[in-house]
Amino acid sequence: MVANTYIGCRVATEMKARFAAVARQQGLSESTLLKRLIDTALLGTAQDRPQTTEPVQPVAKGGKISVRLRSDDLLLLRERAVARSLPTGTYVSFLIRTHLRNVAPLPTTELTALSRSVAEVGAIGRNLNQIARALNQGEQLTGPSRGDLQALLRALTALRDHTKGVINANLASWERGDA
């Protein structure tokens, strides 16, 4: 490649002296050191990559790949899949999707448990709404006392906090790679 274009910049005198000292320590001219720094800066950028790469071919829905793993890595993979009650291949698929799309998946068992919790909280909320409506209309209820309702509110708050904890633990476990 013929070098026929000049790049220059102005720097402080002290910086120029330090740069010259680094070049001497490496047995290079200042120009050669600068050229190497520019090459390093451009290395791996889109401008430095060859433009002759093949376009990515479309993949059939449900496409499969094969991966060779070291036996100790495969053992860890299987242990973590078992800990999440997932087949190994499904667990690998979740891991790859998590990495590529930056989403933390909820396996079916965890999603089902959270869905049940949300449904239960919804049912309790509807019941509380009916009680509140009746009290606001002046009805005398022989149901739960004020203390009972406060205890229920504390339980619901704890359930909400626990559910948030489960979700946060799930997100963290996918980031760390453990179950």
Contact 31, 7 (CB under 8 A): no
User: Is residue 7 in some structural domain?
Assistant: no
Task: Please tell me whether residues 109 and 36 are part of one structural domain.
Answer: no
Task: Please tell me whether residues 31 and 75 are part of one structural domain.
Answer: no
User: Is residue 145 in some structural domain?
Assistant: yes
User: Is residue 2 in some structural domain?
Assistant: no
Task: Please tell me whether residues 161 and 102 are part of one structural domain.
Answer: yes
pLDDT for position 101: 72
Distance of CA 54 to the CA centre of its chain: 29
pLDDT tens for the chain, residues 1 to 179:
566 788 888 999 999 999 899 888 888 888 888 888 887 777 766 555 555 556 677 777 777 788 888 999 999 999 888 887 788 988 888 888 777 776 666 666 777 778 788 788 888 878 878 877 887 888 877 777 777 778 888 888 888 888 877 777 776 766 665 54
User: Is residue 23 in some structural domain?
Assistant: yes
User: Is residue 87 in some structural domain?
Assistant: yes
Task: Please tell me whether residues 77 and 161 are part of one structural domain.
Answer: yes
3-state SS of 88-138 is: HHHHHHHHHHHHHHCCCCCCHHHHHHHHHHHHHHHHHHHHHHHHHHHHHCC
Task: Please tell me whether residues 86 and 140 are part of one structural domain.
Answer: yes
Task: Please tell me whether residues 35 and 81 are part of one structural domain.
Answer: no
Number of domains in the chain: 2
Sign of the Cα pseudo-torsion (167, 171, 172, 174, in order):
positive
pLDDT for position 177: 54
Whole-structure pTM value: 0.38
pLDDT for position 1: 55
- 106 closest CA partner among 170, 162, 163, 161: 170
Which single residue is written with the structure tokens 């449900």? 62
User: Is residue 53 in some structural domain?
Assistant: no
Q: Phi-psi category of 66—alpha, beta or left, where left has phi over 0 and alpha has psi -120 to 50?
A: beta
Can you point out the beta strands (E) in the chain?
A: none
Parent domain of 122:
71-176
pLDDT for position 179: 46
Task: Please tell me whether residues 97 and 168 are part of one structural domain.
Answer: yes
